A and B are shown apart, each in its own frame.
Chain A
Amino acid sequence: MSHLPLEEIVGKLQKLPALSVVLAELMESFEKEDLDIPQLASKIGLDQGLAAKVLRVANSAFYGYPSRIASIKDAVVVLGFSNVRSLAIAGGVIEQFSSAGQDGFDRLAFWRHSIGTAVCAKVLAEHTGRNPETAFTAGLLHDIGKLVMDISFPEHYDRVLQYCAKTDCTIGVAEKEILGVDHALVGYELAKRWKFPLPIQQAIRDHHAPQQEPLSDLMHAANVLCHALDIGNSGYEAVPPLSAAAWDRLELEWQALRPCFAEIERLNAAASLLLSG
């Protein structure tokens, strides 16, 4: 089986469904300063499935509010718009990819890893003075290229998974060997097509090889941490190597990392409710 030209992969991306209108508006809103929050909240509320997912997380033990949060409007008041937006984007993207599935690639384990990385990114962002909600969204989407390749080229991707299991390499190495491109580049192409904010596009592209962009450094560390904590599975078990340069740029002491673990596991239990129902 020969390598796939990037043009062929990009061609397949054009055939994927566009991002839903609500999700596209929510993604766009990261770069807007004059947000019409009530209008955006009401758009989330109109999508009943999406609203139910957000409210399930908002009412989880992690947030611990004494009375039940019954509407998206209430959730915005209690959790803040940024929090609600990142949960809505997560719920919407998971929903968008829920119908397609192949035997070889474990979608549930994939989303568990994506949510786990989103949570790791959010907690690391909070501890390093970065934007936690942008970090959460980038974390959720960092591996989206794997899903796209599995949907678009299922036979090729089965071979990637088999190669990975046989040689115990990282999935990126197997993708380059079998397909000629890796999920980071494919994810970046999709992020461009779906007009994600630039820092999120870059973080998706560079999460295995961070290039001094703050969000890419954060995404790199969050992905490694999620693997080390054994949350979900994104196609291979080994923990990918942590870049010393990226870690240094985060300026997070090892001692400060330890308290993050319990926080990550608690928030991950809540965010994983996005996968139920």
Chain B
Amino acid sequence: MPVMLASAYSPEELSAQTEQIKRRVDWLFRNDGGALMGKLHTAVLEYRLREVQ
């Protein structure tokens, strides 16, 4: 997923995206307390970081 600067979005888009992220974090933690999914996302993130290094 491409990383874009916040300034590339309009205030409305930024607000909508912030709300979406909030919902997703809330949804993630509601499902399993975040533990298992947290591990999965961490593993993927570590892999991606190693790729760009």
Contact = CB atoms under 8 A, between A and B. Distances in A.
Contact of B44 (A168, A228, A244): A228
Nearest to B41: A228
A239 B37 contact: yes
Contacts of B7: none
Contacts of A239: 28, 37, 40-41
A234 to B, nearest CB: 16
Interface residues of B, number: 17
Q: Is the interface of B mostly helix, strand, loop or mixed?
A: helix
Given A228-B44, A244-B32, A258-B47, A238 B27 contact: yes
A241 B24 contact: no
Contacts of B37: 239, 241-242
Interface string B22-34: 0110011001100
Nearest to A170: B27
Nearest to A261: B47
Contact of B43 (A168, A244, A257): A257
B43 to A, nearest CB: 6
Interface residues of A, number: 17
A254 B39 CA distance: 8
Interface string B9-28: 00000000000100110011
Given A230-B1, A242-B32, A168 B27 contact: yes
A138 interface: no
Contact of A261 (B1, B39, B44): B44
Interface in B31-53: 31-32, 36-37, 39-41, 43-44, 46-47
Interface of B: 1, 20, 23-24, 27-28, 31-32, 36-37, 39-41, 43-44, 46-47
Interface of A: 168, 224-225, 228-230, 238-239, 241-242, 244, 247, 254, 257-258, 261-262
Given A168-B23, A258-B46, 17 more contacts: A168-B27, A228-B40, A228-B44, A229-B44, A230-B1, A239-B28, A239-B37, A241-B31, A241-B32, A241-B36, A244-B32, A244-B36, A254-B39, A257-B43, A258-B43, A261-B44, A262-B47
